[in-house]
Amino acid sequence: MSEERNKGNKEPLSRKHIDIVLVDPQKSENIGAAARAIANMGLGGLVLVRPRFSKPELMEAAATKTGLSVLRLALSFPDLKSALEPHQLIIGTTARPGSHRGIIHSPRDLAPQLLKLEDPPKVAIVFGTERQGLTTEDLRLCHKVMMIPTHNLLSSSLNLAQAVLIIGYELLLAAGGEGSNPLPIVPSSMKDFERAMEDLESVLVTIGFLPEMNKGHWFMNVKKIFQRSQLTRGECDLIQGICRQLRYYVGKEKKED
């Protein structure tokens, strides 16, 4: 399956066609945290079936600024059937494999199938209520069932919003979105690097750390440290700044002598 992951494409595949459906969510914090997870992972909308909005302030706090717009746009329905009307592919989630549940897929295996380049079907991933999970009747509406693997079956029940987050994360990875966040580190050009190294070499001679004779040979060991760390242009400037200050300081000391 891993070949199916969107590694080659630069633009991550969209996950906006994938809605998260929570059936009978009881805890306001879970509704809020699920909204946050949806925003974190770039999924579609939040769909709620018979939600219990007992503590709106806790719900908004759990959503944080990140998930607030997902929360505000959430749709509520009186039953699962009507909530799923627009969806073409329905995936149920469970914390228990149960013999009558058929094949249980892992999010890692299923995620690539939910991401199609062109004209993806509208997908619903359905989550059950905190205590009992989805009923057998709910699961009968689902085309496939997915379970997040855990350490063992005794500890297979995850927090509802954490389950949403993990599945969203697998979808993000399968979509090739994992490289999109960290700021790319751009290494300095050879010219900037060499200029900083020449400056450093000369200042190390000035302060008597390197002998004037054969300085290049001795400096190689120092230079190797910096070569390994792939300095950015800003870091090269920083080294030159240190060299400047050292020269100024040494000059001042000499005058005072």
**28, 79, 219, 224 from 229: Cα distances, Å:** 47, 58, 16, 9
The residue from 58, 68, 141, 148 that contacts ligand SAH (CB under 6 A) is 148
For position 163 contacting ligand SAH by CB under 6 A, the verdict is yes
Q: To the nearest whole angstrom, how small is the minimum distance from the Cβ of residue 30 to ligand SAH?
A: 8
Nearest one of 4, 99, 84 to 47, comparing CA atoms = 84
For position 90 contacting ligand SAH by CB under 6 A, the verdict is no
The one segment of 38-46, 62-70, 143-151, 219-227 that binds ligand SAH by CB under 6 A: 143-151
Helix segments in 19-178, DSSP class H: 28-41, 56-72, 80-83, 107-110, 136-140, 160-174
The count of chain residues that interact with ligand SAH, using the rule CB under 6 A, is 19
Q: To the nearest whole angstrom, how small is the minimum distance from the Cβ of residue 158 to ligand SAH?
A: 4
Q: To the nearest whole angstrom, how small is the minimum distance from the Cβ of residue 113 to ligand SAH?
A: 17
**34, 38, 170 from 181: Cα distances, Å:** 21, 16, 15
Q: Give the span between the Cα atoms of 103 and 105, in whole angstroms.
A: 6
The one segment of 2-10, 108-116, 122-130, 220-228 that binds ligand SAH by CB under 6 A: 122-130
Task: Decide: 123 and 19 in contact? Cβ < 8 Å.
Answer: yes
The one segment of 35-43, 60-68, 148-156, 223-231 that binds ligand SAH by CB under 6 A: 148-156
For position 147 contacting ligand SAH by CB under 6 A, the verdict is yes
- Strand stretches in the chain, DSSP E: 18-23, 46-49, 75-77, 89-93, 104-105, 123-127, 144-146
Q: To the nearest whole angstrom, how small is the minimum distance from the Cβ of residue 89 to ligand SAH?
A: 17
For position 158 contacting ligand SAH by CB under 6 A, the verdict is yes
- Return the axis-axis angle of helices 28-41 and 160-174, rounded to nearest 10°: 10
Nearer to ligand SAH, 156 or 206 (CB): 156
The residue from 34, 39, 71, 160 that contacts ligand SAH (CB under 6 A) is 160
Nearer to ligand SAH, 163 or 204 (CB): 163
Residue type, position 223, single letter: K
Nearest one of 56, 24, 46 to 131, comparing CA atoms = 24
For position 133 contacting ligand SAH by CB under 6 A, the verdict is yes
The residue from 93, 111, 138, 235 that contacts ligand SAH (CB under 6 A) is 93
For position 91 contacting ligand SAH by CB under 6 A, the verdict is no
For position 21 contacting ligand SAH by CB under 6 A, the verdict is no
Q: Give the span between the Cα atoms of 34 and 166, in whole angstroms.
A: 11
- E strand or H helix that includes residue 242: helix 233-256
Residues near ligand SAH, by CB under 6 A: 93-96, 127-128, 130-134, 147-148, 150, 156-158, 160, 163
